[in-house]
Amino acid sequence: MNTTNLALNLTEIEEMYPENPIDFFRDKKLCLFKACLEKYFPGVRFGIEDFLTDLELNVMTCTNQSCCSGTFFQRNLITRAQFGAINERNLSEINKIADILLFSCNGCYNSLIRGREFLNNPDVRKKTQDILNQLKNKNNSDNYPGKYEIVDDLKLKLVHDLDFFYLIKNSVVNALKYDLKDMKVAVHYGCHYLNLSRDKDSIDEYLRPKTKLEELITLFGGNPVDYQERESCCGWGASQVVIHPKEALKITFNKLKSAENVGADFMVTPCPTCLYTLSKPEYREKMQKWYGEKLEIPTIHLNELIAILRGCEEERCITLRRKTPRIEEIFEIITQ
């Protein structure tokens, strides 16, 4: 099984629709994978949902989708086969209703791609199918409505929001009401976007630096700044910030400090988990206590930023539920 088949082939779409890649999606059903941390940052979901709706695309979420469970696999609380079965259940449900599955979270995206990779191991694949068969055997009961098989050639294709926005960048730019007024922006891709193993399939992909965020920021009228810790981890590290907070927040501190050192006005990321670590006021306070310096650089998700630039109501982008340092100042500067 070739796991790259699961990812949407962006090059093919660019070749098929060189003028307007958005046209590829016109007759497709698009599903947004629900990331748990969107609870804290609803603008991450609304930012893309509202935009796709305005573009008159067919967009939905799947009621039967569960969390990706990556966090439990990473903490040894479920096996690879159980992780695989949770993934296959989600893929199977979403495959019934949609053609394209979009991800606002690096963690969810990596979970589904990695869950599929594990199935290349025949033993894991058999155990995963055995678990799914257990559900099938109980299918007569009302409590078990699902029948699941591992489908090798899924109709459903997966795409990360960053790759999607980059592919349709002209449509994004055309929809913007404001620009970034030459503000200095530090980009943070996040480990599970930067370190995708499928990039090792070709030497070109492996060596090519990732620059999509910088290119988008430039198109939005901003000034992407290079900084020493550009590729470093946010500090979350599969819950290291919970288990070993002093060490993990040192990484977070170094990252934010490095961006502040080059005068970045704010930091943008395509992952809500990174955003949570980089922006949580409690973590900022701990960093000040442990490392003696107050860091004020605001952080924002790409989807939220696009929503602000499109002129969406504050509640639909950065939301009133969130009061991180200077975030409203950035909002004011962009929308003034």
Binding site for another protein (CB under 8 A): 34, 36-39, 42, 45, 61, 63-67, 69, 71-80, 82, 85-86, 89, 110, 121, 123, 131, 134-135, 138, 142-146, 191-192, 194-197, 199-200, 206, 232-233, 237-240, 242-244, 247-248, 250-251
Residues 208/13, Cβ–Cβ less than 8 Å? no
Smaller CB distance to another protein: residue 183 or 316? 316
Smaller CB distance to another protein: residue 18 or 320? 320
Smaller CB distance to another protein: residue 144 or 332? 144
Q: Rounded CA gap, 275 and 327, in Å?
A: 12
CB of 7 to another protein, least distance (A): 16
In order of 40, 42, 135, 136, the CA distances from 301 in angstroms are 12, 11, 37, 40
Q: How many CB atoms lie within 10 A of CB 99?
A: 17
Provide the β-strand partners of residue 101.
Answer: 31, 158
Smaller CB distance to another protein: residue 131 or 217? 131
Smaller CB distance to another protein: residue 61 or 335? 61
CB of 15 to another protein, least distance (A): 27
CB of 235 to another protein, least distance (A): 8
Smaller CB distance to another protein: residue 191 or 264? 191
In order of 118, 184, 218, the CA distances from 104 in angstroms are 22, 23, 21
CB of 261 to another protein, least distance (A): 17
CB of 329 to another protein, least distance (A): 26
CB of 75 to another protein, least distance (A): 6
CB of 12 to another protein, least distance (A): 24
Smaller CB distance to another protein: residue 277 or 324? 277
In order of 116, 150, 293, the CA distances from 90 in angstroms are 12, 11, 44
